[in-house]
Amino acid sequence: MGAPAYPLTLDLAGRRVVVVGGGPVAARRARGLLEAGAAVELVAPWVCEDVVSLATRGEIVWHEREFVSGDLLLPEAAWLVHTATGDPLVDAQVAAEADAARIWCVRADDAGASSAWTPAVARGRVGRASEGLTVAVTAGGDPRRAAAVRDGVLAALDSGTLPVRRVRQTTPPNAPATGRVALVGGGPGAEDLITVRGRALLAEADVVVTDRLGPRSLLGTLAAEVEVVDVGKTPGNHPVSQERINELLVHHASLGKRVVRLKGGDPFVLGRGGEEALHCAEHGIPVEVVPGVTSAVSVPAAAGIPVTHRGITASFVVASAHDGADAVLRAASDAAPDATLVLLMGVTRLGDTARALIRSGRRADTPVALVERGWTPEQRTTVTTLERAAEDALAAGVRAPAVVVVGDVVSVRNRLGDLSGE
C-alpha cells in the first residue's frame, strides 16, 4: 500500500461507522464522523473523557470491551472503520478483517498499511466568502505537513486571496433578488493594508464600485465576469456625482448582485460612506461597513510622524481642506493649542489654509509635512513650515493625493525617517 491516489469524499449520513480505540485520537475521529452525520459505534475497554462525554450524551454507541471478530459485520456491515487502539497487533487485526469484508479502513498507527486515509480538511466558515467550500489536503502519510497546508489554505480562503466567488446559481431561478452592498475601506493604498474582511468581500463581489484611491491593484485579481465601475474623482474633476454613485449601488444590489463599494482609507472618515449607507437603507438594501485604515493616521505614520507623541501632544484633529480655510479653522477651533492638525485634500488651497492658521494663532515656524502617495513606492515627504508651506510645495511640485500634517510631531521624523517599508 502506498500514498492515496484516488481522493474522494463520502456521504456517511446515517451510515454505520466503527471506531476501534478509546484514546484522544479515536475521540477526534469520532467527532469528525459525527459532524459528517455518521452513526458511530466505538469499541474499546477503556476510553478518555471526551469519549465518555459523547457516549453519555447519546451521540455514539460505546461497546465497553475489546474488539472481537465480527464487530465490523454485525448487526450490519459497516461502511468505514477507523482503528486507533495504540496496539499495532489489534490495529492490524482490524485492518485485516476490514480488508476481507471489503470495508475501507483507516489506521491511525500506520498510514502506509491503511486502505483509506483521512485528509486534513479546511471548510469555509459560515458568513464568510468561503462558506460552502471544503478543501482536503493529503501529504503522503505526513499528517502534520497536511495540517500545516490545510491551515494555510483556510487562511487564504478567509482572506479572499484564493478565488472563492460563487459561479453557479444557488437560489431557485424565480426567487426574489437579495443583493447587498458592502462599504469597504481599502486603507491608504497598499494592497496588503486592506482588512481581512474587506479582502474576502472583494473576492466574492459581483460588482465593484471603486474610487481612485485605495488598493486598486487588487482589481486585477478579480474574475473576468466581475463588473468594475470606476467612479474615481480627481481634484476639480468629478465625472460621476455622489448622487449617481448612490444610485449605482442601489441599482446593482436591486438586481441581486453582491456589490462592494471600494473606498480609500475608511468609509466613514471624510469618505461619504455615511451618505451611501443611508441611501441604501432608505431603499431597503442590506448594507454593511468594513472599517479601513484611515490615511489620516497611517500616511503620517508611513513618513515617521506619529500624530500623537508623549511630551509633544496628546491629541489630533482631522479636517478636510477641500472647502477652504474656514472649514479647517472651524474643525480646529475647540482643539488644544498643541494638537496635531491633519489635513486631507489640502494641497490645492494650502496657501490660504496656512495663512489662516497663522492668523488664528499658530506659530509661523510650526513644522509642516506634506506626504504624497503614502504607502506606495512613490511615497515622498516634503518638510517645511506654515510660513513657507505654499512656496515650498510649489517648488517641490507637490501634488495630490497628499496628507498635510501641521504640528511639532513632524520633528519626530528627523529621528525615524520613513516607516512604510516600501
Residue-wise pLDDT tens digits, 324-370: 899 899 988 888 999 999 999 999 999 999 999 999 999 999 999 99
Q: In degrees, to the nearest 5, what angle opens at C-alpha 408 toward C-alphas 405 and 411?
A: 90
Predicted local distance difference test score (pLDDT) of residue 342: 96
* CA 313, chain centre distance (Å): 34
Contacts of 329 (CB under 8 A, 6+ apart): 356, 357, 360
Residue 150 to residue 124: CA distance in whole angstroms:
12
pLDDT band at 236 (very low <50, low <70, confident <90, very high): low
Residue 388 to residue 390: CA distance in whole angstroms:
6
Min mean pLDDT across 40-54, 62-76, 111-125, 390-404 is at 111-125
Q: In degrees, to the nearest 5, what angle opens at C-alpha 297 toward C-alphas 295 and 298?
A: 60
Q: Exactly one of 211, 257, 263, 266 is catalytic; which is it? A: 211
pLDDT band at 265 (very low <50, low <70, confident <90, very high): very high
Segment 142-166 shows an average pLDDT of: 73
Min mean pLDDT across 81-90, 168-177, 202-211, 268-277 is at 168-177
Active site residue 11: no
Q: In degrees, to the nearest 5, what angle opens at C-alpha 349 toward C-alphas 348 and 350?
A: 100
Q: At what angle do helices 242-254 and 273-282 cross, to 10 degrees?
A: 40
H-type alpha helices, 215-344: 242-254, 273-282, 295-302, 325-332
CB 296 within 8 A of CB 342: yes
C-alpha distance from residue 347 to each of 305, 344, 369 (Å): 18, 8, 11
Predicted local distance difference test score (pLDDT) of residue 126: 59
Q: What is the pLDDT of residues 59-103, one digit of tens each?
A: 999 999 999 999 999 999 999 999 999 999 999 999 999 999 999
Predicted local distance difference test score (pLDDT) of residue 385: 97
Active site residue 257: no
Give the single-character DSSP code of 119: P
Residue 165 has pLDDT above 70, yes or no: no
pTM over cut 0.85? no
pLDDT band at 171 (very low <50, low <70, confident <90, very high): low
Predicted local distance difference test score (pLDDT) of residue 177: 62
Residue 282 to residue 367: CA distance in whole angstroms:
45
- With pLDDT > 70 as the criterion, what percentage of the chain qualifies? 90
Q: Exactly one of 110, 233, 392, 418 is catalytic; which is it? A: 233
Residue 402 to residue 111: CA distance in whole angstroms:
59
Domains of the chain: 16-118 (3.40.50.720), 119-164 (no CATH), 180-293 (3.40.1010.10), 296-416 (3.30.950.10)
Place of cell 459497516: 78
pLDDT band at 139 (very low <50, low <70, confident <90, very high): confident
- Cell for 189? 493604498
Q: In degrees, to the nearest 5, what angle opens at C-alpha 297 toward C-alphas 408 and 270?
A: 115
Give me the chain's average pLDDT, please: 89
Task: Say whether the peptide bond before residue 377 is cis (omega within 30 degrees of 0).
Answer: no
Residue 422 to residue 411: CA distance in whole angstroms:
21
CB 331 within 8 A of CB 322: no
